[in-house]
Amino acid sequence: MNIFLIGYRATGKSTVARNIAAALGLKCVDSDALIALAAGMTIAEIFVAETEEGFRDRESEVVAKLALGDNQVVALGGGAVLRSENREAIRNKGAVVWLQASVDSVCERLAQDSQTPSQRPQLTAHDLVDEVSELMERRRDTYAAVADFTVDTESLNAAEVALEIIATLSAS
């Protein structure tokens, strides 16, 4: 069994993945952490050294490898499903769950996270609210197309989101 968590940055994918993995006795994998480890750089440093395209190339390699695994909960980077080869790699390899939150919540979480500057590079020339709003809207249809179901993380903590995902998977 694989569970792939997708969604915009700061929707809780990494934390929820750890909760689900612990509850189900599965391995927990964070694609961005694997990319940074292999590169020996932070995500932000990869963006500077190799541009977003270089990062996305690295990401596609990691997603392809992860899709071959089993018994894991995978927190994918916010843009991982933008490339069709990544969507294809995870299709039929496990449940794909889209974690959602409002623009305001995402911005608040990003502002409060001390790792944001090193792990979450700015993706547009806009201020934070405009960037989040624009990219969430641009990615919405892609997330919807690949997800088996959606969980709104707005008013739930990570443990509650994990329980909701587990319950939904158990019922199907």
Listed by start position, the domains of the chain span 2-167
Phi then psi for 115, rounded to 5 degrees? Answer: -85, -5
Q: Is the pLDDT of residue 79 over 70?
A: yes
Are 152 and 101 in contact, with CB atoms under 8 Å apart? yes
The Cα–Cα gap between 10 and 47 comes to 18
Q: For position 110, what pLDDT does the model report?
A: 84
- Say what the pLDDT of residue 172 is: 81
Percent of the chain with pLDDT over 90: 84
- Among 20-34, 49-63, 127-141, the least confident range: 127-141
pTM of the model: 0.92
- Is the pLDDT at 125 greater than 70? The verdict is no
Order of strands, sheet of 95-100, starting from the edge strand that comes earlier in the sequence: 27-30, 72-75, 2-6, 95-100, 149-152
pLDDT band at residue 169 under the 50/70/90 scheme: very high
Q: Which of 50, 52, 51, 89 is nearest to 67 (CA)?
A: 89
Q: Looking at the domain that runs over 2-167, which CATH code has it been given?
A: 3.40.50.300
Residue type, 32: D
**pLDDT above 70 as % of the chain:** 92
